Amino acid sequence: MTPTFSSAFLLMIALAPLAGAIITGLFGTGFFGRSVSRKGAHSLTILLVAISFLGSLYALYEVAMNGAYYDQAIYTWTLVGTKVFEVGFLIDPLTALMMVVVTSVSLMVHIYTIGYMVDDPGYQRFFSYISLFTFSMLMLVMANNMLQLFFGWEAVGLVSYLLIGFWYTRDTAIFANMKAFIMNRVGDFGFVLGIGLLFAYTGSMRYSEIFAQAGSLDTLIFPGTDWKLLTVACICLFIGAMGKSAQVPLHSWLPDSMEGPTPISALIHAATMVTAGIFMVARFSPLFELSSTALSFIIVIGSIGALFLGILGIIQTDIKRVVAYSTLSQLGYMTVALGASAYPVAIFHLMTHAFFKALLFLGAGSVIIGMHHDQDIRNMGGLRKYMPITWITFLIGTLSLVGTPFFSGFYSKENVIEAAGLANIWGANFAYWSTLIGVFVTSLYSFRLYFLVFHGKERFDTKPAHGKKHDDHGHHGGVPHESPWVVTLPLILLAIPSIAIGAWAIDPLLFKGFFGDAIVISPEHPAMAELASHYHGWVAYALHAFQTAPFWLMIAGLVTAWYCYIVNPKLPAKVYQAFSGINRILENKYYADWFNENVIARAVRALGGVFWNVGDKGIIDGAIIGGSTRLVGWIAAISRYLQSGYIYHYAFAMIAGVIALITLFVLVN
């Protein structure tokens, strides 16, 4: 008999972070007093997230080693006719892996926050928020139905709004969280339409029942068109993923999310929220596999993000924004893998990326602490001497990000590129070249950041006393220093999987059938089968990389960055001047924000003005409310003349009325 889990055990995993969030939020922020101290807040939330992490580890062990499986309803939320809406859990290999990724990174972020937010007056509130964020993501990945998926989907969006705008006295933070919230609602509109279509034609919200009807859904046509219903539904679902996972054109909110504290930047970019869209598409693989059109749409969108959003990282001067644009590019790589029907590769890259991207963000935060809250990389240089632990761990994260052989990022990223080259759908060729060129771009902006921060001339003595851009309350000046152990410990712990987890996990995740039935790949899409036929072990795979184009493109990016920012640091300024037109386009982020603000937003405001002036003021206030008021006044004005006060006038009116009624009765009959 296949071992399974108890409902109580799964509820413990999901609800432990929620309990920490509620207790800390209510009793540590002044809402119900301040009985939970700063120490109590971090101790309680870390303990409960650690419980959730250990439970997730056990679940993954049982799933991987004993084939454990769980798909049951926990609670019936409501009943509409014969339609049942439930809260339930699905624990399979895909869910178990995501649970470990989410809880492990969240635990590191919780520990890191002790040192990073030590002087912040909103200390307890922040711990409450990040625990709530962890709960929301767990509910999303553990769901066995679309209703609960949507709950978790919206919950991470809500908490991200609170966290991005955590420093709510800043205008930039207010703008950033509103931007993130609104752009995600645009994507979520498509997501709701996709869920609605599937529910309308299957009569169920539960994954297993929907996937069981995939064959019949594949025969249906969207009413009024010649489009396949599944194609429309899948594209709608992916539009939701475009918002959550920051894909073109719904991407521009993610760099602005840097206005929030660095720990939440790491959590949003590495393990929660932005990975939700990737997970969702992998979960719905039985449906996406039946629509080549939807897969082509996905792979083209991912390719654009992988290359062109990565290019924007080359010109950034804020340390966190460089890493943020790296996230946009890497999400594009994951999306390309989804479009190539290489769902295991996408999840594999999601996992490795979670560790090295969390490492890079937390490393950036450590640099910000050491630089007394200056984030401008032009004011850094030579920090390896002052911050040795941050330096070595940041280097490990960088080497993993650029795809250095034997590092974790190499194994997942290389397979993404190969999968794009092996895919047989429209747009795959464009995806292959985009991801290939993206290797050089990634290497260039990553090593540019590394060299400017940790090598070269020390520039921090020349910076102004109070920087305009910072991640905390102010710049205090002084010599850079290494961060406290609560900051460096998570860096060390994240550096380990950034090196080793790729080599350890590649065999089971990609080629040994770890995901089983959790992911469905059609025989018509050969990418995964071709990857398996060329694979001969993690050592041989890494050694072969030295003969491939991605490796030498990575080296080219490294050498270019070294020459431009160490050997000849005056060259980049000359290049920028020579290509000022291109540089202007990049500085304006391809004018995406300009287009959103001056075209989309202006058009929406104009449409709102029309509805307000014509609909609200003209029709509702003017015609309906005002018109009825004037009509009553007119009738009253006329009726007033009929009120003479003489009884014989009223008697005469009654007699005339009776005669009129009798006459009408006689004529009609």
User: How confident is the model over 511-557, as pLDDT tens digits?
Assistant: 988 999 899 999 999 999 999 988 889 999 999 999 999 999 999 99
**DSSP of 41-65, one letter per residue?**
HHHHHHHHHHHHHHHHHHHHHHHHH
Q: Does position 249 have pLDDT exceeding 80, yes or no?
A: yes
**Residue 503 clears pLDDT 60, i.e. is over it:** yes
Give 119-159 pLDDT, tens digit per residue: 888 899 999 999 999 999 999 999 999 999 999 999 999 99
- Which distant-in-sequence residues (6+ apart) come within 8 Å of 40 by Cβ? 24, 28
CA 113, CA 26: separation in Å to the nearest integer? 20
Q: Name residue, tokens 């969108």.
A: 301
* Predicted pLDDT at 3: 60
Longest C-alpha distance within the chain, in Å?
Answer: 115
Higher pLDDT residue, 469 or 482?
Answer: 482
Burial class (CB in 10 A: 0-12, 13-18, 19+), 640: exposed
Q: Where does 67-145 have alpha helices with state H?
A: 93-116, 123-142
- pLDDT for 6 beyond 50: yes
Secondary structure, 3-state, 361-382: HHHHHHHHHHCCCCCEHHHCCC
Please state the rounded mean pLDDT for residues 269-294.
92
Token pair recorded at residue 111: 């520990």
CA distance 626 to 68: 67
- Work out the mean pLDDT of the chain and round it to a whole number: 89
Residue 579's pLDDT is: 84
Task: Classify the C-alpha dihedral 344-349-350-356 as positive or negative.
Answer: positive
For residue 193, which of 237, 244, 153, 132 has the smallest C-alpha distance? 237
> What are 50's two structure tokens?
């650690």
| Polymer length in residues for the chain | 669
Q: Please check whether residue 520 is in contact with residue 289, taking contact to mean a CB–CB distance below 8 angstroms.
A: yes
Quick one: angle between helices 229-244 and 146-164, nearest 10? 30
Q: What is the pLDDT of residue 669?
A: 66
Q: What angle do CA 536, 538, 542 make, to 5 degrees?
A: 100
Predicted pLDDT at 2: 58
Residue 59 has pLDDT above 50, yes or no: yes
Pseudo-torsion of CA 312, 315, 318, 322, nearest 10°? 40
Question: Around Cβ 40, how many Cβ atoms within 10 Å?
Answer: 17
Task: Report how far residue 418's alpha carbon sits from residue 58's, in angstroms, rounded to the nearest whole number.
Answer: 33
528 with 424: CB under 8 angstroms? no
Helix (H, G, I), strand (E, B) or coil at 477: coil
Give the DSSP per-residue string, 395-422: HHHHHHHTT-TTSHHHHHHHHHHHHHHH
| Pairwise CA distance, residues 328 & 342, whole Å | 19
Spatial contact of 245 and 275, defined as CB atoms under 8 Å apart:
yes
Q: What are phi and psi of 381, to 5 degrees?
A: 110, 135
First to last CA, the chain: 85
Neighbours of 478 (CB within 10 A): 10
Nearest to 561 by CA among 441, 460, 458: 441
Amino acid at 515: F
Q: Which region among 98-102, 316-320, 391-395 has the lowest average model confidence (pLDDT)? A: 316-320
- The pLDDT score that the predictor gives to residue 566 is 92
Among 22-36, 443-457, 481-495, which stretch is predicted with the lowest mean pLDDT? 22-36
User: Average pLDDT of 84-104?
Assistant: 93
Tally the C-alpha atoms within 13 A of residue 352's C-alpha that lie toward its C-beta.
37
CB 103 within 8 A of CB 46: no
Burial class (CB in 10 A: 0-12, 13-18, 19+), 373: middle
Q: Which amino acid is at 279?
A: F
Neighbours of 467 (CB within 10 A): 17
Q: How confident is the model at residue 593 (pLDDT cuts 50, 70, 90)?
A: confident
* pLDDT tens for each residue of 612-641: 788 777 787 777 777 787 778 887 777 777
Amino acid sitting at position 130: I
Cα 539 from chain centroid (whole Å): 33
Q: Which of 385, 367, 375 is nearest to 475 (CA)?
A: 375
Alpha carbons 505 and 500: distance in angstroms, whole number: 9
With a cut of 90, say whether residue 646 has pLDDT above it. no
Cα(213)–Cα(307) distance, rounded to whole angstroms?
A: 37
Alpha-carbon radius of gyration of the chain: 30
pTM of the entire structure? 0.88
Q: Provide mean pLDDT across the span 660-668.
A: 83
Rounded Cα distance, 435 and 422, in Å: 13
- Quote the CA–CA distance of 257 and 235 in Å, as a whole number: 26
- Over range 260-279, report the average pLDDT: 87
* CA distances for 263 relative to 39, 43, 98, 162, 558, angstroms: 18, 17, 20, 14, 28
